[in-house]
Amino acid sequence: MSWKFGWQKRTGQAVSGRLISWFLLFTLHSSLFIPNSFAQPGIWRTHPSFLSTQTVAAVQDKIYCASENGFFYYDATASEATRLSRDDGFSEIGVSQLAYLTDQKRLLIAYRSGAIDLLSVSNTGEPAEIRTITLIRDAAQISGSKRINHLVRVGNDAYLSCDFGIVVLDIASSEIRDTYRNIGPRGATAVVYATAFANDSIYAATSSGLLAARFDPTVNLAFFGNWKTVSLPAGTSVRSVVGVNNRLYAAVPGQGVAERQGGRWTVVKALPTITGLVQTATEWVATAPGQLQRESGMVLNNALIGEPKEVVEAAGSFWVADSLSGLLQITGTAVQAVSPDGPGSDAFQQLVAAGQPSQIVALPGGFSEELKPLRRRRGFDQFRENRWQNFLDRSLPTDFVTAVYNPTDQRTYLGSFGGGLWHYQNGNPPEALNRVLGNISSLAVDPNGETWLATPTLNGGLASLYVRRKNGSFESFTPSRGDIQQLLMDDNGFLWMRLSAANGGGMQVFDPATNRSRLLYDQAGEGDLPDRNVRSLVKDRDGLIWIGTDNGIAVFDNPSAVFTGSVNAYRPVFERRRLLSGESVTALAVDGGNRKWIGTANGLYLFNEDGTGLVEQFTSQNSPLPSNRINALAIEPRSGEVFVATPNGLVSYGGTASEPAPAFAGITVFPNPVRPDFSGLVSIRGLVENTVVKIMDAGGQLVYETRSQGGTATWNLRDYRGRVAETGVYFVFAVSPDGREGMAGKLAVVR
């Protein structure tokens, strides 16, 4: 729907009654609701992997489980998984151990930081009140890691095995009762992996070996002299011990389950691939890749079982925390994965916006500066329509480290380390296209729809650049330097390349049409980069090339002249200093409003179009960022949601800019209606670039006016005087910059 009209310019002046009447008639037939798949502007979302599960506990009718950065419970009756987070009152992310205190109806939640939450639960296991104990986490006298690795209960005491020793928690009073540090030989510091009780003794599997002490109130366990080293089978060490029916068992790598009998070890279950030993209410269970072995003799194996960590028995099933497959329910011989939706990994080295409908491709692999891959897990993940799809088939030959979407054939191309070029489409499994081109570090697509590949090499004279033509044929090129880490195609058809810092750093520009190469360094006239170590490249909406280095930002504002004469990048100035001078810029992205999202080793920034104005600054202290170090950025173009990869997990932020529509086809407003508990930003999407948006009340008075950032405009629900919008129906008018085309709708606000 479009129309031609002129706007009244004065603030608060009513539009004509004829226009309002037409508008009311129009809105009777218009829909301004937007699906929940759109991120709410200004709101953070976390995207933890629920596949890397580490610990599990049966709590009344629910199964609680924690992955490296995720936490949830599963209701077997309803077949539903419910995510839990800091938004629900929990202390933090990073749960390391769970234990249900049945008599107290409380779940003990231990964190890698040393913090402890005691969660009261309902009769059916739903979360209720939380009490937090931070004494370990905040203890200034304990240096280094305070991770809680294991816990075992004896009466009213929980013995916590920590990276610095053993802590005794009185679960009746919720207080720390004792701490045993430096219990290694001669008082050495020892990491305690697990403790067990058997034969009137306490045993501790530590970094100093297996230690034991008499468990008696008269024995001072804080004194290292009361701890004795227990001999182990020759050439072995143990990190997992349990006490079952007053008998001590240990997981001995390369051998299996061993029992301590009469001062000697006897292997009672041969299992050379053993990785751990856990204790249920009645027996031990040994874990190994692909299988579980019970003391009773039963073996549990299935293709879904990858790397089991813990197991509990409840409601006629075994529940397994598996670090590759998530939470598994094993009933008889049937195995089912029941974790919530999420990515397959928590550590991503590259994020790519791709496809129609818009999606984010997340790649857990990457390259070190020595051109070696940073391995995480096979496959990749895709976020589309507000859901994650995991491509984690263990039969895939290699890790995927780079991706690009080609709009011409509507395929996503994937580059792998060691496995060549692959592609996929419409959510189908990836297929190999060319395995001969083994190591691919980067991909790019040119305006003709042809796909470019970098195959890094430190050997001069060898081809390091290929193009896959639309007919499927390949052509090779040999630029001056072959150590290519990233490709970027500019508007002239030139390829800009980030080069390896291990080989001298800098950049290279290559013109495939003429085979010209130009190397750019930190010398005046030859690029004048702020630093040779280039970490990120991006092309903005005006065709400028933005460079992130270990010493801030540089911009090439005339890429077409890069092969002629003296070439120098300029450095934007913000608050009288070069933009982010002294900062390592690790990731760059450009939103629909041509604003610059800049990831660094010290947080995330949003700057205006030319880098002279700071719009937002986020750190782990003022936002849900799990780390200040930003590994990768990508912006979902339709919604403007900004995806941020850090070493400690993936999060996203509801951006206020999206890719502009080529022409008005329909606008959407979210949320609509605005309910009383809403305090965020209302977004209007589907706009053309630089759209004028006017919000008017039912009386035709102008309440608010703004211009879109790309295809999105936002309203903070306040009028031009700062007053909060009252209950009522508001009219939304969106007009193209030339005033010749527009859209209209309405918004309901309930206070």
Rounded Cα distance, 271 and 280, in Å: 19
Query: What are 476's two structure tokens?
Result: 């090779």
**What's the burial of 45, exposed, middle or buried (CB within 10 Å: 0-12/13-18/19+)?**
middle
User: What pLDDT score was predicted for residue 397?
Assistant: 53
* Bridge partners, 635 (sequence order): 642
User: What pLDDT score was predicted for residue 438?
Assistant: 82
Instruction: State whether the Cα torsion 478-481-485-487 is positive or negative.
Output: negative
User: What pLDDT score was predicted for residue 356?
Assistant: 66
Rounded Cα distance, 602 and 620, in Å: 9
C-beta neighbour count of 685 within 10 angstroms: 26
Contacts of 750 (CB under 8 A, 6+ apart): 673, 674, 675, 676, 727
Q: What is the pLDDT of residues 24-61, one digit of tens each?
A: 333 333 333 333 456 788 899 999 999 999 999 999 99
User: What pLDDT score was predicted for residue 287?
Assistant: 96
- Long-range CB contacts for residues 211-220, cutoff 8 Å, separation at least 24: 211/183, 211/184
User: What pLDDT score was predicted for residue 395?
Assistant: 64
- Long-range CB contacts for residues 603-608, cutoff 8 Å, separation at least 24: 603/628, 603/630, 604/630, 604/633, 604/644, 605/580, 607/572, 607/574, 607/579
User: What pLDDT score was predicted for residue 647?
Assistant: 87
CB 691 within 8 A of CB 734: yes
Query: What are 319's two structure tokens?
Result: 């529940």
User: What pLDDT score was predicted for residue 35?
Assistant: 39
Rounded Cα distance, 699 and 688, in Å: 27
Rounded Cα distance, 351 and 310, in Å: 32
Match 């701490």 to its residue by tokens.
179
C-beta neighbour count of 716 within 10 angstroms: 16
CB 251 within 8 A of CB 276: yes
Q: Sketch out the chain's domains with CATH numbers.
A: 135-230 (2.40.10.480), 235-301 (no CATH), 350-583 (2.130.10.10), 584-659 (2.40.10), 668-749 (2.60.40.3110)
**Which DSSP state fits 533?**
-
Rounded Cα distance, 240 and 53, in Å: 18
Mean pLDDT of the chain: 89
**Which DSSP state fits 187?**
G
Nearest to 552 by CA among 517, 588, 525, 579: 579
Nearest to 749 by CA among 673, 694, 638, 654: 673
Nearest to 311 by CA among 327, 324, 298: 327
Nearest to 595 by CA among 613, 577, 579, 572: 613
DSSP output for 681-701: -EEEESPPTT-EEEEE-TTS-
HSE of 576, CA atoms in CB hemisphere, 13 A: 0
User: What pLDDT score was predicted for residue 618?
Assistant: 97
**Which DSSP state fits 723?**
P
Nearest to 277 by CA among 286, 268, 269: 286
* Residue spans of the chain under pLDDT 50: 1-36, 367-371, 373-375
